[in-house]
Amino acid sequence: MEDYHSVNASDAGIVCWARAGGAEDVIPGVDQSGFNYYSYARDGFSLRTGEKIRVVTLAPSITETVAAIGGLDYVVGTDLYSNYPEEVIKRQEKGDISIVGGYTDPNYEWILKLDPDVVICDGGTGEHVSIANKLRKSGVDCVVLYDATDVEKLYDNIWITASAFGLSKNAHNAIEGAKETIDTLPAS
C-alpha cells in the first residue's frame, strides 16, 4: 500500500501500524508475510524465555541491518556470505556465530539446531519466505523483511528489525545514519 493516509480503517477487520516519527513516517505494523514483529523481545531479551534472544540472519543485508541497530551480540547464525562488519567474521571464526547455509539455500536443520528465538528473512527471496513458513510450523518465530526495492523500504526494515529485537529506540539513530549517508552520495 503506497498511501497510508487514504486507508479507511472501517474497511478492514484489523489495522496495525507503527509510527517511527511524524505522520509522514507511518510504517507497517506487520512484516511482509503479515506477522506482527513486536511480540518477540524487549530490550534484547526474549518475551518467551526471559533470556537474551538468539537470532539467525539469512542475508548479508540483514546481518548489516542487525549490526546497525546494535544487535550483533544476539546473532547465533548467519548465511555463508555475511562478512560485514568485521566483528561478524571474528565471531564466526570463534564459533560464536554458525553458518546456516547460503543465501538461496539456508539449511532448515542447521537453523533448528541453533534453537533461535527469531530468524530474520529477506522477503525478496522465495527460499526465505518458504523457510519462514516451514520454521513457523516448527515453532520458530520468523520476521520476513520487505523486499527493499527503494530507500523507504530499507528504513521500514531497519525499524522492523529493531522492533523484533525489542530495540525500537535504536531504530531512529540507525535510520538517521542511513539517511545522512545516502544524502552525502553524489547525484547521478
All cell numbers assigned to 70: 546494535
Q: What is the dihedral of CA 1, 169, 163, 144, to 10 degrees?
A: 60
Find the helix packing angle between 60-68 and 168-184, rounded to 10°.
110
All cell numbers assigned to 78: 548467519
**Average pLDDT of adjacent 10-residue blocks, the chain of 188 residues:** 49 54 68 90 94 98 97 98 97 98 97 98 96 97 95 93 93 92 84
pTM for the complete prediction? Answer: 0.86
pLDDT digits (tens, 9 = 90+) for 24-61: 666 778 899 999 898 899 999 999 999 999 999 999 99
In this structure, what are the phi and psi dihedrals at residue 92, rounded to the nearest 5 degrees?
-65, -45
Which residue has cell 555463508? Answer: 80
Domain boundaries, the chain: 4-184
Contact status, residue 158 vs residue 174, Cβ threshold 8 Å: yes
For residues 175 and 94, what is the distance between their CA atoms, to the nearest angstrom?
Answer: 30
3-state DSSP assignment of residue 101: strand
Contact status, residue 143 vs residue 157, Cβ threshold 8 Å: no
All cell numbers assigned to 143: 520476521
Task: Please tell me the CATH superfamily of domain 4-184, with its number.
Answer: Nitrogenase molybdenum iron protein domain (3.40.50.1980)
Looking at residue 75, its amino acid is V
User: Residue 9 has what pLDDT?
Assistant: 46
Triad 134, 167, 60: Cα angle to 5°: 55
User: Residue 6 has what pLDDT?
Assistant: 55
